[in-house]
Structure 1
């Protein structure tokens, strides 16, 4: 489901690339949430329980690239 994640610490933007639907940006995500996401046993379960429907998001119109993925 998830192929890559990245985080812009200064802006608090989480980038999630989904295999089937592309990249989405999630706004105002705490750095601690990203760190926990990196260490989650299941990225899909973590996303569904702690990110989906909890943060404002938009499809990445510029397909920006973030740092190393988790």
Structure 2
């Protein structure tokens, strides 16, 4: 999973503010292309940069999207389009790898809860009877997703996870 951030100024190079509809358009475009978008529009951040001995600043808004794939050609096109639309020499788009922490309360008589770290593929399972946590390593996201949606979590666990993946008992509770 990757987090992409787009930093856009509130004003053009001449200091003229952009209309709210300009930012709403960006938000709608991102929402239609990705599964969701977070737009930080209400409390602009301040950007400060130096060029030689001079420094300059902008108030900016930030848009964030999460995606599994990194399509750099698409992002380069998007950046060029935003630079034209917002009359900027350079629009900053940055990305970084990230992992989602999944925490699930289990409607199960044998499993109290589970957590999944998609980056390390570790599934942590807390059992009702012992209260202990076990970490199962190398569990693909697809197996975790099926476990999460299974009607009988204990049965799915016994059939598809236990004895199939290496595990360690955690000392944390």
Measured against the shorter chain, the TM-score band is 0.7 to 0.9
Cα offsets for 1:11-45 (capped at 9, x unmatched): 00000000122110000000000000110010000
When Rg is computed on C-alpha atoms for both structures, the one with the higher figure is 2
Tell me, what secondary structure is at the counterpart of 1:6? Answer: strand
Match of 1:19 in 2: 128
The structure whose residues are more often strand, as a share, is 2
Unaligned ranges ≥5, structure 2: 1-109
Matches of 2:157 and 2:128 in 1, distance apart?
14
Matches of 1:41 and 1:62 in 2, distance apart?
28
Match of 2:148 in 1: 38
Total equivalences in the alignment? 63
Matches of 1:34 and 1:6 in 2, distance apart?
9
| Alignment of structure 1 residues 1-70 onto 2, 5 Å | 1-21=110-130, 22-63=132-173
Unaligned ranges ≥5, structure 1: 64-70
Aligned partners of 2:133 and 2:172 also within 8 Å: no
RMSD of aligned residue pairs (Cα, Å)? 0.9
Matches of 1:6 and 1:40 in 2, distance apart?
15
Aligned structure 1 segments of 4 or more residues deviating by more than 3 angstroms: none
More relative contact order in 1 or in 2 (CA 8 Å, sep 6+)? Answer: 1
Deviates further, 4-13 or 54-63: 54-63
